[in-house]
Amino acid sequence: MPWVCGAVFDSLRTKRGASAPRRKCPETGRSTIPYIVETLDINLETAAPPPRTAAPTAGPVVQLDGVTVIYGQNPALRSVSARFAAGAVGLLGPNGAGKSTLLKALLGFVRPDEGRMTVLGMDVAERPLDIRARIGYMPESDAHIPGMNAVSFVAYCGQLAGLPAVDAMQRAHEVLYYVGLGEARYRNIETYSTGMKQRIKLAQALVHDPDLLFLDEPTNGMDPKGRDEMLELVRDLARNKNVNLILSSHLLPDVEYTCDDVIVMDKGQVAAQGPIADLKGPAGRVFELRIKGDLPGFLDTLRAAGIECHSTDEDVMRVFVPSSVAGHGRDQQLLFSLAARQGAQVRHLRPSIPTLEDVFAKAVGDD
Amino acid sequence: MPIHDQSYRRYGGGRTSPGRAWTVIARAGILNMIRRRAFLGVLIFAFLPFVIRAVQIYLSTNFPQMALLAPTAETFREFLEHQDFFVFIVTIYVGAGLIANDRRANALQIYLSKPLLRSEYIAGKAAVLFVFLMLVTWVPAMLLLLLQVLFAGSFEFLGRNLFLFPAITVATLTQVTVATFTMLALSSLSKSSRYVGILYAGLIFFTGAIFGVMTAITGNSSLSWLSLGSSVAQVLDVIFRVEPRYDTPWLVSLTVIVGLVAVSMSVLERRVRGVEVVT
């Protein structure tokens, strides 16, 4: 994924200045390396901070059992039971599905009418402070402390989370560089653009080094470039920094790009959950196919061969060729041979990869 | 060749246990106010009555012909009464935006996603206003008492009026607590600090005006409990052992004060939340 690599390296280059010798990214060939320090005169064994302790991977990081939240007369969550695995989990659903309510219930902002929730093995009702000390929350809406510049704000958040003042200030500088606000860290937050405000929210969520991040619509209001950079940061945290995170979004590509697992919510209930790869269905390939000839006879032939067929609008059909039916890489040949056997002409054949959109559409229905 | 990723790193340092976040909030709030020159001007201005009283004490203790200016217990009561104006100004200047600005910037969800309780948040915010109000009431009053001893060169006055130590402390605590919680409650009701300032001023002046009208109608001051300022003044008179100025029983005035603080706390409990539920 060259563009991804480029975006990361670009953002990192702006953080470190241009004075360091440049190298080439092995994947893109672009100059990248100012942030890399070789061990010529640095003993990295001692200079590096303590290695990241393993994130709690045994069991789910968040578990909900029959959680119901009712606002007045309106149920926002209806007996939700879900398990958020370690790593990056997407919380997907249309607006009003209950995603933000679920996060706020986990933070203790909203007390459930029924049910039990645990975060990092701790009961939300019994140990809210211990939980909040170990999680970071990036809210959906604009949120900052008025009258502060970025570094003061992030350091302040670090102190609120229990870091000593000096450490909080040091961490503030580090995470601001990490999220790409290094050059703007002395500016008042109220002068920031929407994209910068999204980044500062991520920085304040990261400053105390949480074990679990709640990201509520992190790309809201961002331009395409900023959105890509934000997603890259989220992906980097999950993949390379071993931070567990829950990404709440109604944007399918955001979740699909950054997460391994997904929980699809609709109307306050869990509509589907599990690894994205599993939810996409069994191994095999989907093709868009159009033929000229005896269509009913060809469909019968395909079904007899164990191939699923679904008609779509117009005259293009979607066919799913399981790996078990055709050998690896032989699925297209199989379709051609079946068409030839039936005397039909293949006029259109295009591979189509099942996406999270398919999962989402299936889970929440056509409406 | 080993390389070292300097981007996001794990934190390996110490952490304080939950329960101290209110000190962080209070410290940040106090520093934020002290950085404002205009506010420093207000503080200096608030010490003018102190300077005048200090001169009065100096003259009365060093020049026999000025003995009529000699301080009494009532002098300290009058001093705190004069400071009411500065309590009002500082309360609006410092307190109006304490929670309102956080609500405007959606900061409550930032605060409450950290390991701190809502009560800690309120304590931290209250401490900011409390400190500055004590600075314009308790601190100068105690300094005056100290100056009297220093200028007179004896503990005679202090010995005769030993109750002044607890009286000044309790009186200023009453003044400051009422102002702090009333203002915080009002601040939690709005996202505009200006509106909160107007609300507070309205509360003080409007209740005072109602009391004034009722006094004119009834011909006595038994309805002083209608006015927040008059209720505080009535209780402070009792604390300083001077004749209460209104016909209202002082216990009624005290009940009004305690009730107002309780209502303010209830408002804060409802308004200071990580999420605002509109049903």
* B206-230 residue pLDDT tens: 999 999 999 999 999 999 999 999 9
**Per-residue confidence (pLDDT) for residue B1, from 0 to 100:** 46
Give the pLDDT confidence score for residue A46 in this predicted structure. Answer: 37
Looking at residue A169, its pLDDT comes to 96
Cβ atoms A264, A359 nearer than 8 A: yes
CATH number (domain holding residue A289): 3.30.70.100
Closest CA to B85 of B137, B145, B35: B137
A335 found inside a domain: yes
Average pLDDT of the residues in B82-104: 96
Confidence of residue A55 (pLDDT cuts 50, 70, 90): very low
Shared domain for A129 and A210, answered yes or no, is: yes
Task: Give percent above pLDDT 90 in chain A.
Answer: 48
pLDDT, position A294: 84
- Ranges A57-61, B66-70, B219-223, most confident: B219-223
Q: How many residues does chain B have?
A: 279
Boundary of a domain, candidates A278, A307, A337: A278
d(CA A176, CA A173): 5
User: What is residue A29's predicted lDDT score, i.e. its pLDDT?
Assistant: 42
Residue with tokens 């958020």: A84
Interface test with A, best of B3, B7, B128 (most A CBs within 10 A): B7
Q: pLDDT band at A50, cuts 50/70/90?
A: very low
> What is the count of structural domains for chain A?
3
Pull the structure tokens for residue B5.
Answer: 């990723």
pLDDT reading at B45 higher than 80? yes
Indicate whether A131 and A118 sit together in one domain.
yes
For B148-176, how does the pLDDT look when each residue is reduced to its tens digit (9 = 90+)? 999 999 899 999 999 999 999 999 999 99
Instruction: Tell me the shortest Cα–Cα distance from B104 to chain A, in angstroms.
Output: 9
- Domain membership flag for residue A93: yes
pLDDT digit string (tens) for A320-331? 887 777 666 688
When pLDDT is averaged across residues B35-47 and rounded to a whole number, the result is 95
| Mean pLDDT confidence for A154-174 | 95
How many whole angstroms separate alpha carbon A145 and alpha carbon B105?
Answer: 7
Closest CA to A103 of A143, A162, A70, A62: A62
Residue A53 lies in a domain: no
- Indicate which of A156, A160, A208 best probes the interface with B, i.e. most B CBs within 10 Å of its own CB: A160
Percent of chain B with pLDDT over 70: 96
Beta-carbon-side half-sphere exposure of residue B275 (alpha carbons within 13 Å): 19
Tell me which of B144 and A20 has the higher pLDDT: B144
Please check the confidence at residue B22 and state whether its pLDDT lies above 70.
Answer: yes
If you average pLDDT over every residue of chain B, what do you get?
A: 93
Give the residue among A343, A346, A351 at the shortest CA–CA distance from A326. A351
Asked if B165 and B145 touch (Cβ cutoff 8 Å), the reply is yes
pLDDT at A135 over 60: yes
Residues A228 and A208 in one domain: yes
Segment A327-348 mean pLDDT: 84
Q: What would the two tokens of residue A34 be?
A: 């100012």
Residues A77 and A210 in one domain: yes
Q: Are residues A153 and A259 in the same domain?
A: yes
What H or E segment, with its residue span, contains residue B103? helix B96-104
Residue/partner pairs of B15-18 with CB below 8 Å, 24 or more apart: B15/A133, B15/A161, B15/A162, B15/A163, B15/A208, B16/A162, B16/A163, B16/A164, B17/A162, B18/A129, B18/A130, B18/A133, B18/A162, B18/B115, B18/B116
pLDDT recorded at residue A285: 77
Q: Is the pLDDT of residue A10 over 50?
A: no
Give the range of the structural domain holding residue A358, as residue numbers without chain letter: 281-364
Q: In whole angstroms, what separates CA B23 from the centre of its chain? A: 18
The interaxial angle of helices B118-136 and B21-34, nearest 10 deg, is: 40
Q: Which pLDDT does position B176 carry in this prediction?
A: 97
A contacts of B117 (beta carbons < 8 Å): 129
- The residue among B177, B184, B96, B191 whose CA lies nearest residue B137 is B177
Is the separation of the CB atoms in A67 and A116 below 8 Å? yes
pLDDT band at A362 (very low <50, low <70, confident <90, very high): low
Contact (CB<8Å) A132/B114: yes
pLDDT class for B65, splitting at 50, 70, 90?
Answer: confident
Round to whole Å and give the CA distance between A80 and A106: 12
In a domain, A54, yes or no: no
d(CA B63, CA A176): 65
Give the minimum alpha-carbon distance from A168 to chain B in angstroms, rounded to a whole number: 10
pLDDT at residue number A82:
94
Final residue of a domain: which of A245, A278, A311?
A: A278
Question: Which pLDDT score, from 0 to 100, does residue A124 have?
Answer: 95
Do A180 and A92 have their domain in common? yes
Residue B4, pLDDT score: 57
Task: Please state, in angstroms and rounded to a whole number, the distance separating the CA atoms of residues A42 and B86.
Answer: 59
Let me know whether A192 and A169 are in one domain. Answer: yes
A171–B279 C-beta distance less than 8 A: no
Is A156 at the interface with chain B, CB within 8 A? yes
pLDDT grade for B123, boundaries at 50, 70 and 90: very high
With an 8 Å Cβ cutoff, is A174 touching chain B? yes
Domain assignment present for A305 = yes
- List the CATH number of the domain containing A142: 3.40.50.300
The Cα B48–Cα B69 span in angstroms is 18
Kindly tell me if the per-residue pLDDT of B24 is higher than 50: yes
Question: Residues of B numbered 14-33 whose beta carbons fall under 8 angstroms of chain A's beta carbons: which are they?
Answer: 14-18, 20-21, 24-25, 28, 32
Residue A339, in any domain of the structure: yes
Residues A112 and A171 in one domain: yes
CB contact under 8 A, A104 and B2: no
CB atoms within 10 A of CB A191: 10
pLDDT at residue A39 greater than cutoff 60: no
A224 Cβ under 8 Å from any chain B Cβ: no
Per the listing, tokens 């302790």 go with A53
Residues A70 and A166 placed together within one structural domain of the fold:
yes
| Beta carbons of B105 and A144 less than 8 Å apart | yes
* Global model pTM greater than 0.90: no
Q: For residue A239, how many C-alpha atoms fall within 13 Å in the half-sphere facing its CB?
A: 10
Flag the least confident range among A74-78, A289-293, B274-278: B274-278
> Is A218 within a domain?
yes
Give the dihedral sign, CA B69/B75/B81/B82.
Answer: positive
Confidence of residue A300 (pLDDT cuts 50, 70, 90): confident
Q: Is the ipTM of this complex over 0.85?
A: yes
Question: How far does the CA of residue B54 sit from the closest CA of chain A (Å)?
Answer: 38
SS percent in chain B: helix, strand, coil, step 5:
75, 0, 25
| Backbone dihedral region for residue A329 (phi beyond 0: left; psi -120 to 50: alpha; all else: beta) | left
If pLDDT is split at 50, 70 and 90, which confidence band does B278 have? low
- Spatial neighbors of A216 by CB under 8 A, at least 6 apart, are A99, A100, A103, A137, A138, A139, A140, A248
Q: Is A10 on the interface with B (CB under 8 A)?
A: no
Do A71 and A163 fall into the same domain? yes
Question: Is B35 in the A-facing interface, judged by CB distances under 8 Å?
Answer: no
- Rounded to the nearest integer, the mean pLDDT of chain A is 81
Asked if A41 and A100 sit in the same domain, the reply is: no
Tell me if B138 sits within 8 A of B169, measured CB to CB.
yes
- From the list B9, B275, B279, the residue facing A104 with the nearest CB is B275
Specify the pLDDT at position A320. 82
Q: Give the contacts of B203 (CB within 8 A, at least 6 positions apart).
A: B182, B186, B228
Asked whether residue A43 falls in the same domain as residue A191, the answer is: no
Q: Read off the pLDDT of residues B126-137 as tens digits, 9 standing for 90 and up.
A: 999 999 999 999
Does residue A218 have a pLDDT over 80? yes
Average pLDDT for B34-46: 95
Question: What are the chain B neighbours of A204 within 8 Å (beta carbons)?
Answer: 110
Helix (H), strand (E) at residue B234: helix B228-239
Alpha carbon A180 to chain centroid distance? 19
Count how many pairs of residues, chain A against chain B, have C-beta atoms within 8 Å: 153
- Taking the Cβ of residue A42 and every Cβ of chain B, the question of whether any pair is shorter than 8 Å is answered with yes
Please check whether residue B111 touches A, CB under 8 A. yes
Answer yes or no: is A55 within a domain: no
